[in-house]
Amino acid sequence: QVTLVESGGGLVHTGGSLRLACGVSGRTVSIYRMGWFRQAPGKEREFVGTLHWSSGRTSYVDSVKGRFTISRDNAKNTIYLQMNSLKPEDTAVYYCAADPIGRGNDYEYWGQGTQVTVSS
């Protein structure tokens, strides 16, 4: 079992920055990947980026490349989503997720989300 809790959302102006955090607890040794996703009102949830737990390697969707960065703090069992140069289209509820080792390459555990609003 893995429990995820997002924090750090809020209201920012276009061009601003925000840093989201996802606290990870439980059997962290069983995590293969961590992911960040987002969902805007009336839209499907979309992939933002991923971090390989053991190596720290990251990848991102094209729309956020160069603006968003995923990192982790092993001592705090926390991953972060640093968001720079924010745009109104980044407005969404942001979720972190965990993909367990040996469970079919699916993001199985999800946090409850944190709201990010970017004003124009």
48: left (phi over 0), alpha (psi -120 to 50) or beta: alpha
- In the chain, the amino acid numbered 71 is S
- Is 22 in a helix, a strand, or coil? strand
Q: What angle do CA 113, 117, 120 make, to 5 degrees?
A: 165
User: pLDDT tens for residues 4-35?
Assistant: 999 999 999 999 999 999 999 988 778 899 99
Place of tokens 């949830």: 45
* Cβ partners under 8 Å of residue 42, min gap 6: none
- Residue-wise pLDDT for 37-80, tens only, equals 999 999 999 999 999 988 999 999 999 999 999 999 988 889 99
